[in-house]
Structure 1
Amino acid sequence: MRDFTITIGTTFVFGHDAETKIGEQLAARGIHRVLIHHDGGAYLTFSGLLATVRNSLSHAGIEAVELGGVQPNPRLSLVREGIALAQEHNVEALVAIGGGSVIDSAKAIALGATGEQDIWDYFTGAAPVEHTLPVAVVLTCPASGSESSQVTVINNEEEHTKLTLSEPVLRPAWAFMNPALSATVPAFPTACGIVDMFSHICERYFSADQEIGVIDRMAEGALATLVDVGPKSLADLENYDLRAQIMWISTIAQNNTLGVGREQDWSTHLIANELSALYDTPHGATLSIIMGSWMRVASERNPMRFARYATEVFDVDPSLPEQTRARLGIEATEAFFQSLGMPISFTDFNIPSDGIERMLDNIVFYGPDATIGSVARLNREDCRRIFHMAAQRTSEGEETR
């Protein structure tokens, strides 16, 4: 294992009625004024969730202002609106009610509310990240793992640019996680979430490191669990136990519990994020579209981990040749995504292929070799192959000729 330092300062309140405890937890930290941030969805009202959070805060003596309107691929314009509102009311914390987009937006508002720099300057690296307001999360849609990660992703809709900011101070202070709250999430966003957390684990698992150790086996166990419970959960959306498994996996998939001590990859996200930025495609769908094609290109360079992944996650026969196992594991991955009703190609989601060069222009290749990735270093031509491969695949997984 490589050297690492990790601090996860999030307090997890997990289980039945977790959302009712938010007032007492924040009051114990001396919080008096908060900004409640959400997407404004009707479920917040008819489920009683928003009223429950408001009442919990009010009973604890905490004043609240609200800002709704978060969209998938959270918008920079709303973040700026939230910063102005937070500063106007001198709030001391953010309360995010929702999934990854709401949480990421809240993190950005909390960061921008503490400084004098424009919030986009932090994302571009023009300003250092030093301070932020504490963020409390009431999780409704497990997917991104943003409830305890140090990452926020914001979409600059004017520039069609989607940037990631990763800093330890961005980890939320609290995560209130009641799996029952996610039972109202429909099948498609549930499936998008499962793909997202699956990909988060893979980005850490597919490393250039050749040794296999405890972190690898933990990752394989989490991936195999998702393969098992994912389709079952879609068939029984209100099953609390299945939702609980998915909710906790979403958290450990992204807070680096399964990523310490290795050089991580992140090529799939870097490539797929450009689809979201240009075409406003749901994040989980971009990942399922890109991952199989990325695996095919990357496994040509370094088949070992892909072969082991096939055996440990999908029970592919370990006696088969390495390249064969790798291929079968990739095919099983795409079949798993399709079992969730997720796309595996541009055509599955009606995405045009005329923006490939523009998307390639926005990928930040780095180092003297101008590449991305870990398990396989990919240059612009490699990424072009991945885009074209994903664009040419049919819904049956075959490439068009």
Structure 2
Amino acid sequence: MAAFIDLPVKVIFGRNKEDNIGAEVKYFGGSKVLLVYNLRFNQATGVTEKIRRSLEIFGIESVDFAKEFGKNPRVDVIREGIEFARQNYVDFILALGSSHTVNLAKTIALGVANSVDIKEIFTSNRAYKDSLPVGVILTMPGNGVESTGKVYLYENDSDNLLKGSALTNSAYTPRFMILNPEIMNTSSIYTYSSCVYMLGQLIAKYLTSTEYVELLERDTEAIMNIVLSKMRILRNDPANYAAKANLMWAGVLAYNSALDEKIDDCALFSMEKAIRECFDCSPGESLALVMPAWFDYLKEKHLLRVAQFANRVLNIPFNFSDPMSTASLGIYRLKQILKECGLPSCIADMGGDGRSIQSIISHIAFRKDGTIGTFELLDRTACEVILSSLLIKESSSIN
């Protein structure tokens, strides 16, 4: 078992916990807050007024940076936020919304605290450790950016395709995050995309060669089972508090260091990132597309492992005389659950075609030896096999 440390962010969970946001901001030294949110979110919930009232009670000023932005806010939006924050002399950034909003808030906090352009921070060899403090009120299951020191920068390359850069530093970790399942947004594809990203993180840690991780393995299986089952419940009952609460808490556990420190397989996320850059989609959408195909490829060499996943996570009865059927049924069920939640299942769903395969391949960051992954090494040919299977569109449903 690998060594690990505890989750570094304060987690505040439950109904109406955002009502006490003023006390949290004051505790962490904030006197003037930049409230970052997507205008579409505010129109849907009206939570911002509750936040302002709580801040006012504690004598904290606030200004809004409210924009309508997409799944991967670009450099120009970040620069605008940095300039607005500087003009208003804020000393605390508060993100209200999804992980995309949290990432935007964190990049603004990083840019305000340093005198160089935000792109310089991401491309320089120097480690920039200064950042304004950030707080989070999450309205969807997280993807890790809200509870870790990870932060991402997105821009378009010369071919007008999405290009992402990442930094990790403990100084960028939010001071706290508030999770109130009642204000969780279940009307957006972002909700299910966030769940799938969480699932992908867990799967990448589940497929490991690290020894003596039986307890962590069972924990991971339980969380994955909850994520998939609650996704289906929310699809039919968007107001189900128990399902929302379980998904939000699963998002905390999925990025807990006890699970995070297992040696994981990066091949899934290498392909996910390449798909995201080509189609400017969310991480969860690109994972939903490639994850079943990746499992289908793995089952040829890791049959019992994939069959175990099908049995323990997707509740497929284990056929000991034919484990291949167990694995295949599990992959089929996974694919259909994702499809029923409105997520893409083939390249055509992303607006692509056969020509997209080579474009995706060109965006995969292969190592010098021409491979990606650790649990199972994938070369260019293997990636082409996996991605080419995404050209086939299937139509069916499961119970």
**TM-score, length basis structure 1:** 0.90
* Alignment deviations for residues 311-355 of structure 1 (CA, whole Å, 9 cap, x no partner): 211233332444443333222211221232322111234323423
Q: Are 2:180 and 1:178 equivalent residues in the alignment?
A: yes
* Alignment deviations for residues 272-301 of structure 1 (CA, whole Å, 9 cap, x no partner): 222222222233221111111122223334
CA contact (8 A) 2:273 2:364 kept: no
Inter-CA distance 317–239: structure 2 relative to 1 (3 Å threshold)? closer
Inter-CA distance 294–32: structure 2 relative to 1 (3 Å threshold)? same
**Structure 1 partner of 2:148:** 149
Match runs of 1:265-344 below 5 Å: 265-318=265-318, 319-344=320-345
CA contact (8 A) 1:45 1:51 kept: no
The AA in structure 2 aligned to 1:354 is R
Distance 1:106 1:36 in 2: 9
Inter-CA distance 97–323: structure 2 relative to 1 (3 Å threshold)? same
Distance 1:316 1:212 in 2: 23
Pick from 161, 164, 188 the counterpart of residue 162 of structure 1: 164
Q: 1:7 offset after TM fit, Å?
A: 4.3
The AA in structure 2 aligned to 1:167 is N
Inter-CA distance 150–266: structure 2 relative to 1 (3 Å threshold)? farther
Match runs of 1:2-401 below 5 Å: 2=2, 4-41=3-40, 43-45=41-43, 47-69=45-67, 70-124=69-123, 126-159=125-158, 160-182=162-184, 184-186=185-187, 188-209=189-210, 212-260=213-261, 262-318=262-318, 319-366=320-367, 368-390=368-390, 392-396=391-395
* Alignment deviations for residues 58-115 of structure 1 (CA, whole Å, 9 cap, x no partner): 2211122221223212212211222222233332221000001001111111122222
SS in 1 for 2:71: coil
Q: 1:224 offset after TM fit, Å?
A: 1.0
Distance 1:257 1:212 in 2: 10
Q: 1:175 offset after TM fit, Å?
A: 0.4
Moved more, 58-67 or 294-303: 294-303
* Alignment deviations for residues 94-140 of structure 1 (CA, whole Å, 9 cap, x no partner): 10000010011111111222223332234345332422222101111
* Alignment deviations for residues 10-62 of structure 1 (CA, whole Å, 9 cap, x no partner): 11111111111111111122211221111111x41453211111221122111
User: Which 5+ residue runs of structure 2 have no aligned equivalent?
Assistant: none
Root-mean-square deviation (Å): 2.2
The AA in structure 1 aligned to 2:260 is G
Distance 1:63 1:75 in 2: 27
SS in 1 for 2:299: helix
SS in 1 for 2:313: helix
CA contact (8 A) 1:162 1:274 kept: no
Distance 1:209 1:256 in 2: 15
CA contact (8 A) 1:206 1:264 kept: yes
CA contact (8 A) 2:147 2:174 kept: yes
Distance 2:122 2:324 in 1: 40
The AA in structure 2 aligned to 1:327 is S
Distance 1:370 1:148 in 2: 33
The number of residue pairs the alignment matches comes to: 391
CA contact (8 A) 2:279 2:350 kept: no
User: Which 5+ residue runs of structure 1 have no aligned equivalent?
Assistant: none
SS in 1 for 2:139: strand
Q: Percent identity?
A: 25
Distance 2:260 2:270 in 1: 17
SS in 2 for 1:155: strand
CA contact (8 A) 1:151 1:171 kept: yes
